[in-house]
Amino acid sequence: MASNLGVSGSEFSEKVLKSDVPVLVDFWAEWCGPCKAIGPAIEQIAGEYDGKAKVYKVDVDADPDLASEYGVMSIPAVFLFKGGKVVDQHVGAASKETFAGMITRAL
């Protein structure tokens, strides 16, 4: 995982909820195979949408309260926030295009 994509519960409000651009958040864990499988795609999207959207990863083991707050029961769970609200979400592994499309629809 690119360390610059990690966001903790204490930073979540400022970096995600108060963002003026759409934010893709990947709820994941180190032990989760499908999470690792989509990791490279999430990192590529972060680069491709730089300046237009933000991308963060939340480690559900490190921040279980945050995962619980958003009802994350299965990972990977990818949420798209816009204006401080969840506007799209996908649970499970998917293609890079699926996650990029979530951002594109919110732009």
Sequential pLDDT tens for the chain (107 residues): 444 799 999 999 999 999 999 999 999 999 999 999 999 999 999 999 999 999 999 999 999 999 999 999 999 999 999 999 999 999 999 999 999 999 999 99
* Peptide bond preceding 76 in cis form (omega within 30 of 0): yes
**pLDDT score for 67:** 96
Check if 35 is active-site.
Answer: yes
Q: Considering the candidates 7, 16, 24, 35, report the single residue annotated as catalytic.
A: 35
All domains of the chain in start order, with CATH: 3-106 (3.40.30.10)
pTM of the prediction?
A: 0.95
For residue 65, give the amino acid letter: D
Contact 41, 28 (CB under 8 A): no
> Reduced to 3 states, what is the DSSP secondary structure of residue 1?
coil
Q: Considering the candidates 16, 23, 32, 53, report the single residue annotated as catalytic.
A: 32
35, 31, 88, 34: which is closest to 57 by C-alpha?
A: 35
